[in-house]
Amino acid sequence: MAIPQHSIATVDGRSFFEQTLAYGVEQSILTEHHLKQIKADGPKGIVQIANHFGTAYLHTSLETAATRMVNLISLYLEDKSDSNLLVAAHSLRDNSLLSHSRGGSEMLKRLNALPLDTHLMKRQADPAEEKRFIDDLTFASPISLSEYRQMLSTRLETQKLIDFATWIAKQLKSSFKEYEDYTAEEIISSAMLVWYVGKEPLGFPTKSDFVKLVTSVRKTSFKPQKTQFNSALTAAPDDFRKLAESSMEHFVKANLPTLKSSQYEPVEFLFGDQAGLYFVRESLEEEVGGFDQLVSKEWVRVTKGQSDNASIATLFLLIATGHPPKVTLLKKEATSIIHQFRNKGFDANAVSQFIEELAPFEQRSELKAMWLEDLMPEAEIYLADPDEDDTYMERALPYLKRTCSSTWKGRG
pLDDT recorded at residue 407: 84
Is the pLDDT at 330 greater than 70, yes or no? yes
User: Which DSSP letter does residue 136 get?
Assistant: I
Average pLDDT of the residues of the chain: 87
Instruction: Enumerate the H helices of 236-330 as residue ranges.
Output: 238-250, 256-260, 290-295, 297-303, 309-320
DSSP for 165-213 reads: HHHHHHHTT--HHHHTTSBHHHHHHHHHHHHHH-PSSP---BHHHHHHH
- Identify whether the C-beta of residue 405 lies closer than 8 Å to the C-beta of residue 312: no
Q: Binning pLDDT at 50, 70 and 90, where does residue 371 land?
A: very high
CA proximity to 119, closest of 181, 188, 185: 181
Of 31-35, 257-261, 386-390, 406-410, the least confident: 406-410
Sorted by sequence, the CB contacts under 8 Å of residue 286 that are 6+ apart come out as 206, 207, 208
* Single pTM value for the model: 0.68
Is the pLDDT at 233 greater than 50, yes or no? yes
pLDDT recorded at residue 157: 97
Task: Find how far residue 219's CA is from the centre of its chain.
Answer: 30
Nearest-angstrom CA–CA distance, 165 and 319: 48
Q: What is the pLDDT of residues 287-315, one digit of tens each?
A: 445 565 565 677 888 888 888 999 999 99
Q: How many residues does the chain have?
A: 412
Question: Cα-atom radius of gyration of the chain, to the nearest Å?
Answer: 35
CA distances from 268 to 216, 220, 359, 392 (A): 16, 21, 12, 47
pLDDT recorded at residue 50: 64
Convert 329-372 into a string of H (helix), E (strand) and C (coil).
ECHHHHHHHHHHHHHHCCCHHHHHHHHHHHCCHHHHHHHHHHHH
Mean pLDDT over 328-352 rounds to 94
Nearest-angstrom CA–CA distance, 103 and 160: 24
Q: What is the pLDDT of residues 148-204, one digit of tens each?
A: 999 999 999 999 999 999 999 999 999 998 999 899 999 999 999 999 999 888 999
Convert 69-95 into a string of H (helix), E (strand) and C (coil).
HHHHHHHHHHHHHCCCHHHHHHHHHHC
Instruction: Name the percent of the chain lying above pLDDT 90.
Output: 58
Nearest-angstrom CA–CA distance, 117 and 120: 9
Of 3-17, 129-143, 267-281, 361-375, the least confident: 3-17
Of residues 47 and 372, more confidently modeled: 372
Mean pLDDT over 107-132 rounds to 90
